[in-house]
Amino acid sequence: MGWFWESSNKDDPVKKLDPGLREYLEHEAPKKYVPATLPSPQDASKPVDTQTGPSGSDEPSKPTTPAASLFPDGRYAHLWKTYKPPREQEASTVQTAERVVEKFKERGKSVQRAAIESCALEHEALTYCFKTGNWQKRLEARVTMCSEENTKFSRCYTTQAKFLQALGYASAFDWDEDREERIQMHADKLYHEMLDYEQRVLEAQKAGQEPPPLTSLFNPQAASQQSPATDSTPSALVIPGGEKIPEGFKPSKSLEKLSPHERELEIRAHYAQIEQQKMYVEEAGPFMKSQDEARQKRREKAVGWFGETIGRWVT
């Protein structure tokens, strides 16, 4: 077999090449493939340095850029950090508008629940009016529908709800349990102060004395006023704290039929409602702006197609 290998070596064409050419070919020839070895469990458990990269080099890893970038090599990556595609921006504005609507609905429910809690005693008295007492009391309760207890509970519920609205209960978008509880307690305190003043006025009238001075519930530091015995005419309307009737103000009831403190409450609730509406408008401002812009674009197209009159009517 020796002759076979010997003849093979003699016929090798590489040996006939020029030494310089042979060196060049050996240098330019592709390197042999060496399969990579899997890391051992001990190496896999070691943390990878994010600054030097997984290979352990000192070069920091390139910052990632979104697909919308024209420079995938990482240039201007710091400018793309706050980038949001138009679809995401539109979705965020729609979510903001939905949040405002949900907050408006939730606030009404929260005020109702808080008013019911504050009038728990009046509600309990109304409930037991139909269930307690002998058969004569029960029959009388059914005939009169517990009018006295029902009147007390109805007034407590509606007035407590007004106080809660005037003090800004559940007006913030972020719910704060401590804040809302303080507002609820303050509203209940003002309501009972109003009832206490009305009771003192009745006692003074029965005794033939002058009614006690009228003090504002929301601004106790304001100067007190003398409450007239009767103020059935509009010119004799007295509002504690010197509150002025706002322009275009529409109370739930005629001011002549309300007590002085109820008039002040109506005005305060009116101002609180205006502030709440401003907050909603500011929160939903981006959505409203996008809707106006879209409507304006539709109108421009319709006017170009059908003319000024029909285009404006269609849009």
**pLDDT at res. 178:** 94
Run means of pLDDT, 10 residues per run, the chain, 315 residues: 49 68 68 56 50 48 61 68 61 62 84 95 87 71 82 95 95 88 96 95 92 91 70 62 86 88 94 87 69 74 76 70
Which amino acid is it at 103?
Answer: K
Residue corresponding to tokens 């042979």? 22
**pLDDT at res. 165:** 95
List residues bridging with 213 in a β-sheet: 226
**pLDDT at res. 173:** 80
pTM of the model: 0.60
Structure tokens at 147: 């009018």
Sequence-distant contacts of 149-153: CB under 8 A, at least 24 apart: 149/122, 149/125, 150/126, 152/122, 152/125, 152/126, 153/119, 153/122, 153/123, 153/125, 153/126
**pLDDT at res. 54:** 46
**pLDDT at res. 3:** 46
